[in-house]
């Protein structure tokens, strides 16, 4: 009786998924369901994957765009606050309001 090496079965069964063409691969819904880890690896590597159902493309999976953190506009924030008098300390409520504004604005 012939025994198959499980490590090669997965590799050979992936041949029906298309090879990359200009950073894009194609996989079927079945491939996505049964071999999600392989498809996810392609996406992690920066490739776009077109998902087909019954031979027709219906979705494209692509790597997520990295979220750009916006930098605070300090000049605008300073202008929007009234100047703090050096003659008196801030009250507890004024200090709390200032902290809340700073934390909420970032």
In this predicted structure, which of 32-41, 51-60, 67-76 has the lowest mean pLDDT?
Answer: 67-76
pTM of the model: 0.45
| 84 has pLDDT over 80 | no
For domain 15-61, say whether CATH 3.40.1620 is its number: yes
Of residues 5 and 31, the one with the higher pLDDT is: 31
Cβ–Cβ < 8 Å for 34, 27:
no
Q: What is the mean pLDDT of residues 16-44?
A: 79
Cβ–Cβ < 8 Å for 21, 40:
no
Where do the domains of the chain lie? Answer: 15-61, 74-105
What is the per-residue pLDDT across 5-15, written as a single tens digit (0 to 9) for each?
333 334 334 44
Question: So what's the pLDDT on residue 8?
Answer: 33
Per DSSP, which regions of 1-106 are E strands? 24-28, 48-53, 56-61
The neighbouring-strand residues paired with 27 are 51
Question: So what's the pLDDT on residue 22?
Answer: 56
């Amino acid at each position: 009786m012939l025994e198959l090496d499980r490590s090669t079965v997965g590799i050979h069964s992936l041949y029906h998924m298309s090879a990359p063409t200009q950073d894009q691969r194609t996989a079927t819904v079945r491939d996505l369901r049964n071999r999600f880890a392989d498809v996810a690896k392609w996406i992690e590597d920066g490739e776009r994957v077109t998902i087909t159902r019954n031979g027709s493309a219906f979705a494209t999976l692509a790597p997520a765009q990295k979220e750009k953190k916006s930098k605070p506009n300090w000049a605008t924030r300073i202008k929007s606050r009234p100047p703090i008098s050096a003659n008196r300390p801030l009250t507890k409520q004024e200090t709390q309001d200032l902290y809340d504004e700073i934390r909420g604005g970032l």
